[in-house]
Amino acid sequence: MKTVSLILARGGSKEVPQKNIQLLSGEPLISYTINAAKWSGVDEVWVSTDSSIIKGLSIQLGAKVINRPSEFAKDDSPSEEALLHFAENVDFDVLVFIQPTSPLLRPSYIDEGLEKMKEYDSVFSVYKEHWLPRWSLDISPINFDENKGRPMRQDKEDVYVENGAFYITTKENLLESKSRVSGNVGVVEMKIGDSFQIDTWDDFELVGRLV
């Protein structure tokens, strides 16, 4: 049973140019997830990229690299396209898909997910959220009716929020379903403080205080 991790790291980014190699507390952003994968129980760490700079850095950090075709590296390219490209070209049994925007991901979370794969077909990371009133951008209530009174937080169930840190599935399930999650699904609950994603310069500033 061969387990590999895959980090999808495009060279382009709208909000933050070259986001995946921008420095976070003095280290390239992608280094955090490469190291988390290396220190986990996976057999190989891979990076899929269209960038020669990211390729060189990833190899330097100890990862293997698959060249990501440009048609799978556009702003609107679904991650599944690159995942399927990888699955069709690399030998493995279990895939841990990690997003490079998750610098607070710990190896122990990955290992917990791999252990849960003994029971499930797919596993993904979440954090638990208490109920809060949510409003649309035109200031309309989304998850409650203001006219019927505001519910008490303790009367509403907690929910799991997909935090995007990682997804685990098998090669067989990925190729059959064309999706990162399929079949009987389990979750790994991460602390909310470990679930921050880097998407903006403000995120770099905030998370830089935590790493």
In sequence order, the β-bridge partners of residue 185 are 122
Tell me how crowded residue 31 is: count the other CB atoms within 10 A of its CB.
22
In sequence order, the β-bridge partners of residue 44 are 4
Strand bridging mode 44-49 / 3-8: parallel
Phi and psi dihedrals of 4, rounded to 5? -125, 155
Task: Given the residues 106, 150, 180, 209, select the one marked as catalytic.
Answer: 150
197 dihedral zone (left: phi>0; alpha: psi -120 to 50; beta)? beta
Active site residue 150: yes
Residues 6+ apart with CB under 8 A from 187: 123, 124, 125, 126, 160
The set of catalytic residues is 150
